[in-house]
């Protein structure tokens, strides 16, 4: 990613299982990035549910109280189910910097299905790099908010995925879902990486060779991703 701590109002932090960029204006993280591997698909600890403010955010993060009676779930960006491979990663996944207000119909519906598929893809391909977050494409004042900290309620969420197919080709998949109940299949919400970059202003997977990055990010080719779910 090329949008981070060197940009005013962006605060990047690294944890044991993921990295994130917190936006104080929104009280949300605009991206959370991590790599899930086949070896990390083990469960050494159960879900802890120890939601708490993130004291490493210098301006102060959102708090659990912000979500009380809001009608929104404390939606994980790095899912707790992806962080069961150590006690430290599980506990850190419940920091409020890793949460965004998600409609229950999304968080417990198609978004959950997409997260489950990410783990299936990690099992099949051996490794998947995930970047996920809310689409913050408007000034913070233009979003509705919850709680005393005025946590912005995103209208859309994205997930960008990078892996290698079983024949060694670099493959990408990307999705944007509205913050509401989603009908149809997850594939109905597939987009190109380029579309997410245009809407968020974030340059994903910039460490890739430019020729691979530019060609793969502009296309929507889901055949490898679909095949291993059949």
Q: Which of 10, 13, 76, 91 is catalytic?
A: 76
DSSP β-bridge partners for residue 178: 156
Determine how β-strand 151-152 pairs with β-strand 10-14: unpaired
Residues, the chain = 230
Query: Hey, what are 117's tokens?
Result: 């598929």
Q: Six-digit token pair at 198?
A: 């245009």
Identify whether the C-beta of residue 147 lies closer than 8 Å to the C-beta of residue 70: yes
What CA–CA distance (Å, rounded) separates 155 from 153?
Answer: 7
| Annotated binding-site positions for Mg(2+) | 107
10 is a catalytic site residue: no
**Per-residue b or e along 177-194, where b marks 16 or more CB atoms closer than 10 Å to that residue's CB:** bebeebeeebeebbbbbb
- Binding site, by residue number, is 107
Reading the block at residue 201, the tokens are 């202003």
Nearest CA among 186, 189, 221, 217 for reference residue 202: 217
Residues 6+ positions from 70 with CB-CB distance below 8 Å: 101, 146, 147
Catalytic residue numbers, as ranges: 76
């Amino acid at each position: 990613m090329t949008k981070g701590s060197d940009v005013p109002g962006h605060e990047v932090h690294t944890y044991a299982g993921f990295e994130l960029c917190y936006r104080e204006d929104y009280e949300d993280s605009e991206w959370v990035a991590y790599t899930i591997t086949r070896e990390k698909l083990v469960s050494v600890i159960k879900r802890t549910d120890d939601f708490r403010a993130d004291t490493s955010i210098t301006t102060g993060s959102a708090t659990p109280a912000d979500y009380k009676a809001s009608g929104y779930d404390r939606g994980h960006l790095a899912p707790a189910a992806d962080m069961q491979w150590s006690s430290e990663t599980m506990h850190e996944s419940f920091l409020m910097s890793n949460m965004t207000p998600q409609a229950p119909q999304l968080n417990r519906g198609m978004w959950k299905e997409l997260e489950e598929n990410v783990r299936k893809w990690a099992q099949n391909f051996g490794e998947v790099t995930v970047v996920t977050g809310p689409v913050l494409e408007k000034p913070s004042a233009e979003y509705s908010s919850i709680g005393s900290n005025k946590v912005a309620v995103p209208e859309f969420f994205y997930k960008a995925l990078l892996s290698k197919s079983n024949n060694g080709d670099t493959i990408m998949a990307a999705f944007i879902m509205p913050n509401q109940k989603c009908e149809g299949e997850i594939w109905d919400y597939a987009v190109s990486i380029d579309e997410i970059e245009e809407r968020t202003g974030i340059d994903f997977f910039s460490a890739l060779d430019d020729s691979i990055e530019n060609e793969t990010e502009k296309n929507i080719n889901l055949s490898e991703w679909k095949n291993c779910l059949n």
